[in-house]
With several copies, the nearest count.
Chain A
Amino acid sequence: MEKKKKLDSKEGQRLLQQMILIRRFEEKSAEEYTKSKIRGFLHLYTGEEAVAVGVIQALTEEDNILCTYREHGHALARGVDPNAIMAEMYGKQEGCSKGRGGSMHLFDASKNFFGGNAIVSGHLPLSVGMALAAKKQKKNNVTCCFFGEGAAAEGEFHESMNLAALWQVPVLFVCENNLYAMGTAIKLTHSMQQLEKKGAAYGIEAAAVDGMDLLEVMEAVEKALKTIKEKGQPYFLVCNTYRFRAHSMFDAELYREKSEVEEWKKKDPIPKFQEFLLKEKLITAKKITEIEKAVDAQIQESIEFAENGTWEDAENLTRFVYSETESI
């Protein structure tokens, strides 16, 4: 594969580090959840890391990113400060959304990271609008919108695909098809389960890719971005993947067999990529251990940062309902 050849050791290690960071950061988050340090809904991305990492590595700093409530991985891959993310999940002022949002609402405008959106499909129209703005401003950036296969059943998916194609705006729609919307299997949510076929209904180029394989995702997204830039058109990329853990911390997982989960775990994107790097001699076992250690230290730091963070004064409850500046 062309991509595999291009990948150098440094970049390979960086991507591995990201996936490991996401994995362990979320494991730690789950732990903190059971300790009641984190509350509300907590949706883990475990198993799906290759999608966020594979897509986001291809974006530039100017590109916009919009995600769902299952966005820790994307925020980390984007380079949002892990300390600020953990603090946000703790609800502290030092959080990336000043503690107002929590796990489902990570924002970092300085990184063009636009949430953390918890109404399923509600951010798709926003992404079209951001891309429209870019076109009007004659900017050259892309807006990348992640969402689940469940979201694709909502009317907003249809409207957004049509508007993006009609207006010829640079949006990359990334559908993370993890086969379940909460506990509802895709066969109960979509009459047409090969979601990439929906592209044709709008004249949008589309492809499906193995979302458990980082290299495949990287290759697919490269092609997608090329199409978007060359043709000035949207693109629909379906990443077939799986979440290894429950939908959220409230989920008893009654709707799927343990054996199915175990089957998918064999496709875990992290060992797969690790083996590739080892095989291609782009990394050593020792280096992997170093990465893991560094990641653990970073996560530990984020916990301390969050612990040491401060609570917003309840008197400031109504800040940010309206802007504090008078006009823009």
Chain B
Amino acid sequence: MSDMIKITYREAIKQSIRDVMQKDERVFLMGEDVGNYGGAFAVSKGLLKEFGAERIMDVPLSESGFTGAGIGAALAGMKPIVEVMTVNFSLLAMDQIFNNAATLLHMSGGQLNVPVVIRMGCGIGRQLAAQHSHSWEPFFAHVPGLIVLSVGTHEDARGMLISAMESPDPVIIFEYTFMLNMEKEIPADSGAVEIKKAKVLREGKDISLITYGAGVYKCLEAAEALGQEGIDAEVIDLRVLRPMDEETFLNSVKKTNRALIVEEAWRSVSISSEVISRIMEKAFFDLDGPVERLCGVEVPIPYPKHLEDASVPQVSDILDKVKKMLKP
């Protein structure tokens, strides 16, 4: 086993960008404020100096234009990393992503690959209010042709981009701005990670906590606390929101016979809806009771801290819910 190092989520992402830039000259990073400003959230700080303005490209406020340009550059043999500052602004680039990146391969009968990687900051937690706190993973997870990754851990922050760059097909990567300053230990030699499978982060036999993104550490924390009370929870990070790896969570549910889905996105028509549906379809007879979920409350996120906190599931909510589910 290799040594462990302490690293922030931000630094882990930055190192992954540096790795792929060093490895392949076709790679370049383009996005608003990725260069001179150092990245809206300081993720790319220092990279402009290291790689120069040709490879760390500041772009104008033109989400549709520059995302489309990234797709075009990918069509023409480059390997762009497009940073859409946050998912909140991605609606402006949605046509390019859904109608171009996701469909060109099929429309052209397999002729055109679109090896673009689009990274976006995502999620709630900084009191940025309604237009800046969206969790829109569900939109992207609905669209065939895309590979959709959610960075829920520091190892994935260090490795997912590296693996995504090998994909011949467009990859969307969600990074959680709330986690940027969080420090965790990862193996010193962390690098590329597998990007087809969900991951069991904690084994348990009493209930499956299925989650992704900002829910991952919350569920792990909840699982530890539940352990203190004699409840043995299994925690699964979905990681790949599309194409979804159902095998991992179905196996888990077949073992635990109970599941709770935890996500920060709005409840209706969400990732949790999809997970529940697949459990319904393929593990119904293994269930001891209905699968439940804790999701984002269906409200444009309000500004004040206490209302923001109330808008997404907290560790205490998970504890309460699990206890209610297991001890009726």
A interface vs B, CB < 8 Å? 39-41, 64, 91-92, 95-102, 104-105, 107-109, 114-134, 136-137, 150-151, 153-156, 159-160, 162-163, 166, 181-185, 188-190, 251-252, 254-255, 311-312, 314, 317-328
Q: Does B182 contact A (CB under 8 A)?
A: no
The closest CB in chain B to the CB of A161 belongs to B65
How far, in angstroms, from A68 to B111 measured CA to CA in the complex?
18
How far, in angstroms, from A108 to B110 measured CA to CA in the complex?
11
Q: Nearest Cβ distance between residue A260 and chain B, in whole angstroms? A: 13
Q: Which residues on A sit within 8 Å (CB–CB) of B60?
A: 150, 153, 159, 162-163, 166, 181, 184, 188-190
Q: Does B156 contact A (CB under 8 A)?
A: no
Interface of A: prevailing SS: loop
Residues A125 and B110 in contact, CB atoms below 8 Å apart: no
Residues B169 and A183 in contact, CB atoms below 8 Å apart: no
Q: Does B220 contact A (CB under 8 A)?
A: no
How far, in angstroms, from A188 to B92 measured CA to CA in the complex?
20
Q: Which residues on B sit within 8 Å (CB–CB) of A327?
A: 166-168
Q: Which residues on B sit within 8 Å (CB–CB) of A91?
A: 127, 303-305, 307
Contact partner, A125, options B32, B58, B96, B307, Cβ 8 Å: B96
Residues B109 and A130 in contact, CB atoms below 8 Å apart: no
Q: Does B323 contact A (CB under 8 A)?
A: no
Q: Which residues on B sit within 8 Å (CB–CB) of A101?
A: 107-109, 129-130, 303
Q: Nearest Cβ distance between residue B295 and chain A, in whole angstroms? A: 13
Contact with A along B189-207 (1 / 0, CB 8 A): 0000000000000000000
Residues B37 and A125 in contact, CB atoms below 8 Å apart: no
Contact partner, B307, options A109, A130, A159, A317, Cβ 8 Å: A317
Residues A116 and B107 in contact, CB atoms below 8 Å apart: yes
How far, in angstroms, from A175 to B64 measured CA to CA in the complex?
20
Residues B75 and A159 in contact, CB atoms below 8 Å apart: no
B interface vs A, CB < 8 Å? 28, 32-33, 35-38, 40, 42, 45, 54, 58-78, 80, 88-89, 92, 95-96, 99-100, 104-113, 115, 126-132, 144-145, 147, 166-169, 243, 297-300, 302-307, 310-311
The 4 A-B residue pairs with the shortest CB-CB distance in the complex, in nearest-first order:
A129-B72, A125-B68, A183-B37, A98-B109
Q: Nearest Cβ distance between residue B73 and chain A, in whole angstroms? A: 4
Q: Nearest Cβ distance between residue B193 and chain A, in whole angstroms? A: 15
Q: Which residues on A sit within 8 Å (CB–CB) of B74?
A: 129
Q: Nearest Cβ distance between residue A254 and chain B, in whole angstroms? A: 5
Contact partner, A136, options B28, B40, B304, B306, Cβ 8 Å: B28
Q: 15 new A-B pairs (CB below 8 Å) besides A105-B107, A322-B105?
A: A91-B305, A96-B109, A100-B303, A105-B131, A119-B92, A125-B64, A125-B71, A132-B73, A153-B62, A156-B68, A159-B62, A159-B64, A184-B37, A184-B60, A255-B36
Contact partner, A321, options B45, B69, B99, B106, Cβ 8 Å: B106
Q: Nearest Cβ distance between residue B185 and chain A, in whole angstroms? A: 27
Report if A314-B126 is in contact (Cβ < 8 Å); known contacts: A126-B69, A166-B60: no
How far, in angstroms, from A3 to B164 measured CA to CA in the complex?
50
Report if A155-B302 is in contact (Cβ < 8 Å); known contacts: A184-B36, A188-B58: no
Q: Nearest Cβ distance between residue A33 and chain B, in whole angstroms? A: 11
How far, in angstroms, from A184 to B67 measured CA to CA in the complex?
17
Q: Which residues on A sit within 8 Å (CB–CB) of B75?
A: 114, 126, 129-130, 133
The closest CB in chain A to the CB of B132 belongs to A118
